[in-house]
Every structure is written in C-alpha cells, then in structure tokens.
C-alpha cells in the first residue's frame, strides 16, 4: 500500500493484517521492504508485520531536496504513518541505518514502542570532528553515486569489508541482495546519505541513558566494529542485552534469518 506523509508517498508492506501483536521493521541503506521477506516467512501469522520503504528507498518517493531526508523529517513521517495505520504499540526493529532511525524515533516519539531490536547499528558519532569527516566522505559517495550510476555504486558497495561474510552465501541469496540494491534510484541513495547519513544525524550517545524500554542489541560475530559499538551502548542503556550471533557479519537477517526470526519470536514468547 501507499500512504502519504508530508507529501512523501511511502510504500508499506504488511503481513498478517488482522493479528493483534505488531512488529515494525526498518531496513538499512540500499534496502527496502524486500529486506524482510525471508524473516517474515519464518514468523507466525499471529504477528502483524509492518515494513516501510524509507524515504528515497524502494517504492517510496525520492524527493530531489536532500532536506526531505533529514532524520528529523524521517521520524516525523514515521510517526505520521504509524498514526494513520493506527499502530498504537509495537516492537520496533531497525537494521543498520534503520537502527539509527529506530533509535532516533524512540528518542523523540517514545509512546508507541514497547521494545527495540537493534541490528548492527549505532547512535551516531560522538564528536563533531568524527561527524565532519564522515559527512565529507558520505557527500563524496553521494556525488559518486549520481555521477557513476547505480551499477557502479553497487559493484563497489557489495565489496566493502563490512559485507565480506556475505560472499559465502548461496548465489541466489547474494543475487537477491544485489538486485534489491540495483533497484534503487541514484537520487534516493545519494540524498539519503546527504540527509541522514551517519555523519549528518545528531549523536544520540548522550540520550541512551533516558531509554527505559527493553533494547536487544544484535551483532554478528564477524562484525567487530559494530560489536564494540553495541557493547558501549549496552553500558549506557537502562535495560539492554547484547547478543552476538556466531559465524555471521553485519546483515544477520540475511546470513541467518532463522536465528533472527527466533530472536523476534522470543520477544513475543512464540515457539
Ligand atoms: C560502511 C559503514 O557505514 C555504512 C554501513 C552500514 C549502514 C547500512 O545501513 C548498510 C546496509 C547495507 O548495505 O546492508 C550505513 C548506514 O548506517 O547508513 C552506513 O553508511 C561503516 O563502516 O560505518
């Protein structure tokens, strides 16, 4: 379905519409609702699964103005969408960029979220120096995406060290990830980096202690950088656990969807 917020038309996919318990899943950079198809197929029909193509991604509009992609505008849109969809309470799941958005959403709009599951993500960067350096890198990448096109970008992106562990996956799974990325629009990815890249968003490190709901931090054993980030986040959050999934890297839901689905089912005490 398409739902409009602030004049941005969002594509939303829902499984099990009539179910009572609700979970909302937010994909990462270069992702879409397709990200969650395998995990959704492993979850029970008693769980309503709501997935959103974030601004500039999937079938959601990709505005030309980078300011439409700010974290503040994205979480405001999500609140608008959740209101329109009558989602009163749910568990919110975010992968990577989607995790940064989930954390940002909860920090501003806490009332709907019963618990958080954060996969391979961060609360932003602590210092202005780090943010400036990252902003420059992300803007350069954004310009490169627009100059060289989506195929060139995906060829490079799928080969960054963060995704090395995905090379051992079956070719059909690797192809599904690649096809999902190739289906993106250059303007959408470029403006996503410019508007809500890791270096653009404000740091939430000093706000983590205010989050009282249960937070499950999940990282892959092969993803050292985000293991360390999760370990530090855990010390600052009021009610957090950190699970390291053996033998996988950054995209746990891609590399071990069964384990990822089990973590979700455990939240709802579903066997
Ligand atoms: C490379 C780094 O940061 C990027 C990596 C992961 C994030 C993401 O959402 C990627 C999802 C995917 O392609 O599977 C992305 C983000 O948070 O926006 C980061 O730009 C890094 O080393 O931090």
Domains and CATH numbers, the chain: 2-267 (3.40.50.1820)
Predicted confidence at residue 268, as pLDDT, reads: 76
pLDDT of residue 158: 98
Residue 30 is predicted with a pLDDT of: 98
User: Ligand 1 site: residues with CB under 6 angstroms?
Assistant: 28-30, 96-97, 100, 160, 162, 198, 251
Question: 154: CA distance to ligand 1 center in Å?
Answer: 13
Rounded CA separation 105/101 (Å): 6
Residue 25's Cβ-count burial label (10 Å; 0-12, 13-18, 19+) is: buried
SS3 content of the chain, % helix, strand, coil (to 5): 50, 20, 35
pLDDT at 106: 98
HSE of 234 in the Cβ direction (CA atoms, 13 Å)?
17
- Nearest residue by C-alpha to atom 6 in ligand 1: 96
- Closest residue by Cα to atom 16, ligand 1, is 97
Task: Specify which residues 90 forms β-bridges with.
Answer: 113
The answer to whether 59 and 35 are in contact (CB under 8 A) is: no
Q: What is the dihedral of CA 62, 6, 23, 46, to 10 degrees?
A: -100
**What local confidence, expressed as pLDDT, does residue 267 receive?**
83
Q: Each residue of 92-138: pLDDT tens digit? A: 999 999 999 999 999 999 999 999 999 999 999 999 999 999 999 99
* Regions in the chain scoring below 70 on pLDDT: 270-271
pLDDT of 271 reads 60
d(CA 247, CA 256): 9
Q: How far away, in angstroms, is 162 Cα from ligand 1 center?
A: 8
């Amino acid at each position: 379905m398409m739902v409009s917020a602030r004049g941005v038309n969002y594509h939303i996919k829902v499984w099990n519409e009539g179910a009572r318990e609700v979970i909302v899943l937010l994909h990462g950079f270069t992702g879409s609702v397709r990200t969650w198809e395998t995990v959704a197929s492993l979850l029970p029909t008693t769980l309503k699964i709501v997935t959103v193509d974030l601004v500039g991604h999937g079938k959601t509009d990709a505005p030309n103005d980078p300011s439409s992609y700010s974290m503040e505008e994205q979480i405001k849109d999500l609140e608008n969408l959740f209101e329109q969809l009558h989602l009163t309470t749910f568990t919110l799941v975010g992968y990577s960029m989607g995790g940064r958005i989930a954390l940002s959403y909860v920090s501003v709009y806490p009332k709907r979220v019963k618990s958080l599951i954060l996969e391979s993500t961060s609360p932003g960067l602590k210092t202005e120096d780090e943010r400036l350096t990252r902003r420059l890198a992300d803007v350069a990448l954004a310009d490169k995406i627009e100059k060289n096109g989506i195929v060139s970008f995906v060829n490079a992106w799928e080969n960054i060290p963060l995704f090395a562990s995905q090379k051992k996956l079956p070719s059909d799974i690797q192809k599904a990830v690649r096809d999902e990325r190739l289906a993106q629009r250059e303007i959408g990815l470029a403006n996503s980096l410019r508007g809500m890249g890791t270096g653009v968003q404000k740091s939430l490190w000093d706000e983590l202690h205010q989050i009282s709901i249960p937070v499950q931090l999940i990282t892959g054993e092969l993803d050292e950088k985000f293991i360390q980030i999760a370990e530090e986040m855990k010390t600052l959050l009021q009610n957090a656990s950190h699970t390291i999934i053996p033998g996988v890297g950054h995209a746990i839901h891609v590399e071990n969807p069964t384990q990822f689905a089990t973590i979700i089912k455990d939240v709802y005490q579903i066997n």
